[in-house]
Chains A and B, each alone.
Chain A
Amino acid sequence: LVLLSVICCPQNYPLYIRSVPTENELKFHYTVHTSLDVVDEKISAMGKALVDQRELYLGLLYPTEDYKVYGYVTNSKVKFVMVVDSSNTALRDNEIRSMFRKLHNSYTDIMCNPFYNPGDRIHSRAFDNMVNSMMMQVC
Chain B
Amino acid sequence: MRGGGSSSSAEPGCKMEGLTLSEAEQRYYCDLFSYCDTESTKKVASNGRVLELFRAAQLPNDVVMQIMELCGATRLGYFGRSQFYIALKLVAVAQSGLPLRVESLNTVKDLPLPRFVVSKNEQESRHTALYSSDADNPASYSGVIPPPPGRIQVKKGSVSHDAVQQRTSTDQQESTSPVVSPQQSPPTSPHTWRKHNRHPSGGNNERPLAGPGPFWAPFSEAQPGSSTSSDPIWSGHSPPPHQENWVSFADTPPTSAILAMHPASVQDQTTVRTVASAATTNEIRRQSSSYDDPWKITDEQRQYYVNQFKTIQPDLNGFIPGSAAKEFFTKSKLPILELSHIWELSDFDKDGALTLDEFCAAFHLVVARKNGYDLPEKLPESLMPKLIDLEDSTEVGEQTGEVGYSSSPAEAPPSKSPSMPSLNQTWPELNQSSEQWETFSERSSSSQTLTQFDSNIAPADPDTAIVHPVPIRMTPSKIHMQEMELKRTGSDHANPTSPLLVKPPDLSEENKMSSSVKFTAGNTVNGYSSSDSYASDPEQIGSTVTRQRSHSGTSPDNTAPPPPPPRPHPSHSRSSSLDMNRSFSVTPGQQQAGVVAYPPAVPPRPQPSQGAGPHVHRPVDAEGLIAHTSTSPQQIPEQPNFADFSQFEAFAVSGVNKEEEDEIEMHSEVLQVEKATDSASSLRVAKADGRVEDKAPANVPTSAGKGTTPLAPPPKPIRRRLKSEDELRPEAEEHTQKTGVIAAVLASQPSIPRSVGKDKKAIQASIRRNKETNTVLARLNSELQQQLKDVLEERISLEVQLEQLRPFSHL
Contacts and interface: CB of A to CB of B under 8 A. Distances in A.
B325 interface: yes
Contact of A40 (B325, B337, B345, B806): B806
Counting chain B CB atoms within 10 Å of each CB, which of A41, A124, A125, A129 scores highest?
A: A125
Given A115-B340, A125-B377, A34 B323 contact: no
Contacts of A124: 340-341, 344
B344 A114 contact: no
Interface string A96-125: 000000000000111111111000000111
A37 B808 contact: yes
Contacts of B352: 111-114
B678 interface: no
B344 A126 contact: yes
A56 B369 CA distance: 40
Most chain B CB neighbours (cut-off 10 Å) among A110, A112, A115: A115
Interface residues of B, number: 26
A38 B810 contact: yes
B351 interface: yes
B344 to A, nearest CB: 5
A112 B807 contact: no
B809 interface: yes
A35 interface: yes
A35 B343 contact: no
Nearest to A122: B340
A129 B329 CA distance: 24
A110 B303 CA distance: 29
Interface in A5-47: 34-35, 37-38, 40-41, 44
A37 B350 contact: no
Given A113-B322, A114-B322, A114-B352, A37 B806 contact: yes
Contacts of B343: 113-115
B807 A44 contact: no
* Most chain A CB inside 10 Å of its own CB: which residue of B343, B344, B345: B344
A41 B806 contact: yes
Interface residues on A, range: 20 to 34
A123 B329 CA distance: 18
A134 to B, nearest CB: 17
B336 A115 contact: yes
Nearest to A64: B811
B341 A125 contact: yes
Interface in B765-811: 802, 806-811
B806 A113 contact: no
A40 B808 CA distance: 11
B31 interface: no
A112 B286 CA distance: 37
A80 to B, nearest CB: 18
A82 B322 CA distance: 31
Interface string B320-358: 001101100110000011011101110100111000000
Nearest to B353: A112
A27 B119 CA distance: 74
A123 B809 CA distance: 33
Nearest to A111: B352
A41 B330 CA distance: 41
Contacts of B323: 114
A109 B350 contact: yes
Given A112-B351, A114-B325, A35 B811 contact: yes
Contacts of A113: 322, 340, 343-344, 347, 352
Contacts of B809: 41
> Which among B337, B340, B350, B802 has the highest number of chain A CB atoms within 10 Å?
B340
B372 to A, nearest CB: 19
Contacts of B377: 125, 129
Contacts of B344: 109-110, 113, 124-126
B362 to A, nearest CB: 11
Contact of A112 (B322, B329, B336, B806): B322
Nearest to B351: A112
B800 to A, nearest CB: 13
Contact of B811 (A44, A62, A108, A123): A62
Contact of A116 (B329, B340, B807, B808): B340
B22 to A, nearest CB: 28
Nearest to A47: B802
A98 B394 CA distance: 47
A106 to B, nearest CB: 10
B792 to A, nearest CB: 16
A58 to B, nearest CB: 14
Given A123-B337, A126-B344, A112 B350 contact: yes
A92 to B, nearest CB: 23
A47 B806 CA distance: 15
Given A41-B806, A44-B802, A125-B377, A115 B811 contact: no
A126 B340 CA distance: 11
Contacts of B347: 112-113
B461 to A, nearest CB: 15
Contact of A38 (B337, B341, B350, B811): B811
Interface of A: 34-35, 37-38, 40-41, 44, 62, 108-116, 123-126, 129
Given A113-B343, A124-B344, A125-B377, 13 more contacts: A35-B811, A37-B807, A37-B808, A37-B811, A38-B811, A41-B806, A112-B322, A112-B350, A115-B326, A115-B330, A115-B343, A126-B341, A129-B377
5 contacts: A41-B806, A41-B809, A112-B351, A114-B326, A125-B377
